[in-house]
Amino acid sequence: MADVILKKIYVKVWRQSSPSDKGRFETYEVENVSQGSSFLEMMDILNEKLVGEGKEPIAFDHDCREGICGMCSLYINGRPHGPDTEITTCQLHMRKFSEGETITVEPWRAGAFPVIKDLIVDRDAFEKILQSGGFVSVNTGGVPDGNAIPVSYEDAEEAMDAAACIGCGACVSACKNSSAMLFVSAKVSHLAKLPQGRVEAKKRARNMVAKMDELGFGGCTNTGACEVECPKAISISNIARLNREYLLAKISE
């Protein structure tokens, strides 16, 4: 199949030189982009053009470019990670856009994710939530045999589904309240479904919810936008499990 070339597109991108800068949109023209290119490759082409013109390139996050790390978090045409489903920005291809189209690119918009520069936001809030309880710290001695602790198939599958969360923040960006409930519930569910995680389950639920609230994330109103836009299709059923874990923890206080 012949490679389709977008002869001309326009990228309306958020430019903000520092956290204290007010910020504004700037529109750039990009020519001769293959529809087989990824969105980040298109951004690379645009940056090469800007550098060639002696202008400041656009700052944006990326690392693996394989849909694993979650760093390529951009708000594209009104959707986290762009106009496709169950993909990260680095997996988005230019075939989703049309000749002459204007593509609007923004950073995540959430008080807990302040803009550092242009399209890069500070997502340390997620790390702080994980540090508050998203781990198993019980001393279990040497490494046990992989089959020594029986886990049912259903529990193992649900734990692995929850563990697929890459912490990109799309759920927060999609939510009208900037809630982190899907992220926190995925991390709590992952460990709640495994016997190794039950020892610290009560403390984990209390601490992670408290830290989420402390960092300024909004409350969940169950609109489901987080699940729709999650690149790993994390289910909002995990939020129900988080609520149960938290309630049990509070009752036992």
Residue 89: CATH number of its domain:
3.10.20.30
In a domain, 112, yes or no: no
CATH number where 189 lies:
1.10.1060.10
- Residue matched to tokens 């198939």: 153
In a domain, 21, yes or no: yes
Is there a single domain that holds both residue 23 and residue 101?
yes
In DSSP notation, 77-123 reads: TTEET-SSSS--GGG-BGGGS-TTPEEEEE----TTS-EEETTEE--
Considering only residues 199 and 171, tell me which one the structure prediction assigns the higher pLDDT. Answer: 171
What range defines the domain where residue 92 resides? 5-106
Q: Across the strands, what pairs with 93?
A: 38
- Residue at token pair 């919810």: 209
> Per the confidence metrics, is the pTM higher than 0.85?
yes
Residues 31 and 80 in one domain: yes
Tally of domains within the chain: 2
Residues 209 and 242: their CA atoms lie apart, in Å, by 9
- Round the average pLDDT of the chain to a whole number and report it: 94
> Per-residue pLDDT tens for 55-86?
999 999 999 999 999 999 999 999 999 999 99
Q: Is residue 111 part of a domain?
A: no
Which is more confidently placed, 150 or 99? 99
- The stretch 157-161 carries a mean pLDDT of 95
Torsion sign, CA atoms 137, 168, 188, 180: positive
Are 168 and 195 found together in one domain? yes
What was the pLDDT predicted at 139?
Answer: 65
Q: Is residue 113 included in any domain, yes or no? A: no
* 130 and 231 fall within a common domain: yes
Q: Contact, 107 vs 50, CB < 8 A?
A: no
My answer on whether 70 and 160 are in the same domain is: no
Q: Do 128 and 236 belong to one domain?
A: yes
Residues 132 and 229 in one domain: yes
